[in-house]
Chains A and B, each alone.
Chain A
Amino acid sequence: MTGTPPLIYLNNAATSWPKPPEVLEAITKSLSLPVFGSGRTTGSHGEDYVLMAREALSRILGADPPEHVIFTQNATDSLNILIQGFLTGKEHGCQVLTTALDHNSVLRPLTEYEQQHRIRLTVLPFSKGYVDPDSIASAIGPDTRLMVMTHGSNVLGSVQDIRTIGEILHDNGVYFIVDGAQTAGHIPIDLSTLPVDAYVFTGHKGLLGLQGTGGFYVRDPESIAPVRFGGTGTDSFSLLHPRGMPERFEAGTHNYPGLAGLAAGVKFIEETGIATIENKAARQVSCLIRELREDPNITVYQDDPALPIIPFNIKGLQNDDVGFMLARRYGIIARTGLHCAPLLHRAIDGGMGCIRLSLSWFTTDQECSIAADAIKEIANHADSQVSPA
């Protein structure tokens, strides 16, 4: 093939790119001076990036107080800390609920505990991208202690009604951990009004920060036992890890450049306006889906995703091959396969996987149009598949 097509990046649900210039500047600035972190240096020249990021996440998620916002490596790390911490001290064999929509970051920790006979795991089905709150109510028994579920599907882009679900769970005394890896930064979230006990976020997707940043908000810190211990820069004479917040869940040195970038990413979203971001994404997604649905060879798996995610397949072609063609011939970067959501794919495509387009604030209308044309061109040629041998 002659020449390299320009890069069109539509894999933002994996990790967003590009980052706002402000994020890159904040990271560069954070590295230009020694780190200022309370309790860890006599210096006082730099910014306290950890505090900045904590306050930024508190604002954008409506998560009060800011000390209840905890930083980790990523959403998976957060989920492990929360699940392990919640189950510490709980009776073995208690029931935990999750859904077939969920990512392996939820399914794998829970399945490990199930294998160890620590829990009895119930995986709830979904229909048309949504879990029926009534099915959750029906699944709750006297020994149900916990539900862990995705807020927004990383494959279908559907957003669950966590208000109704949380109310049902709380009415039955069930703890509710929500995986917000795909929703934070994309849609308005106000945890001060939602019946959620813990909400997990990642920094490098919708929040426009770097990989290696993430965290969680926990409403009642006492509900989660700490599972990591070490240096905090505070109460250093004690050989026991501090139990105050946020030190209760944070041990070791923070990712200062990452948190500087994350704070800048949140600030960029606030200044742009999350409703503006959401509306632009909705318009582009709607347009793309309408275009793809024009071709009978293209199957789109979700009608009206609330997140900028479009899952599809082309009849007669393997999703990996379509991804290869998009990348090589058109410079369009998507993602193919199971997207770490094996139960979801078993339900929608027999476990074969699909191609996922995922947009960001920086995706242009022209890029959407080029992508739609490229996919339709491939679908058109799928009919002409022949053997040259």
Chain B
Amino acid sequence: MRIVRSVRHKLCADGSFMKEFLLDTPVTKEFFAYLGAFGQVEALPNLGEGFYKFEKPDWFSIKGFAGDTTVEVRFKKEVIDLTVDFVYSLFSTYHEGKIDSSVLKRREEAIGVKVRKHLYGT
């Protein structure tokens, strides 16, 4: 799966920065399940094709309906420069079948150190 482009963006009332991304294929329930390895996923699976929301506190959230080719990503504004590439990687790494997330997990750890230092100085 690949992010084609950002189709909309805005600064939200809660201070987060929202980007709506157009994808080359629709998101699926399985995609959000895969995201669960990197944060928390909540769902209303019986609402239409299913509403899903992934939250990675201090980094970003991703929400969308299964079957849609757009998702809404809300970045914590203060660290968006550190985390935006990881969003692209989350999408590009995903594919059907067994996924090796080891490289992503190492990147997550490295970025996490920078995010914590930027936000909390530790």
Contacts and interface: CB of A to CB of B under 8 A. Distances in A.
Contacts of A337: 12-14
Main secondary structure, interface of B, reads mixed
19 contacts: A1-B49, A1-B65, A2-B67, A321-B53, A324-B63, A325-B44, A328-B68, A329-B51, A329-B65, A337-B13, A338-B13, A384-B45, A384-B46, A385-B42, A386-B42, A387-B36, A387-B43, A389-B32, A389-B40
Interface string A358-389: 00000000000000000001100110111111
Interface of A: 1-2, 320-321, 324-325, 328-329, 337-338, 353, 377-378, 381-382, 384-389
Nearest to B39: A389
B44 A389 contact: no
Sort A-B residue pairs by CB-CB distance and give the 3 closest, nearest first.
A389-B36, A337-B13, A381-B47
Interface residues of B, number: 29
Nearest to B64: A328
B47 A387 contact: no
B29 interface: yes
A1 B40 contact: no
Contact of B68 (A1, A353, A389): A1
A388 B32 CA distance: 8
B65 A387 contact: no
A42 to B, nearest CB: 46
B48 interface: yes
Contacts of A321: 51, 53, 63
Contact of A388 (B14, B43, B67, B68): B43
Question: Considering residues B41, B43, B52, which has the most beta carbons from chain A within 10 angstroms of its beta carbon?
Answer: B43
B33 interface: yes
A385 B52 CA distance: 10
B47 A325 contact: yes
A328 B51 CA distance: 10
Contacts of A388: 29, 32-33, 36, 41, 43, 45, 52
Given A1-B68, A2-B67, A353-B13, A389 B37 contact: yes
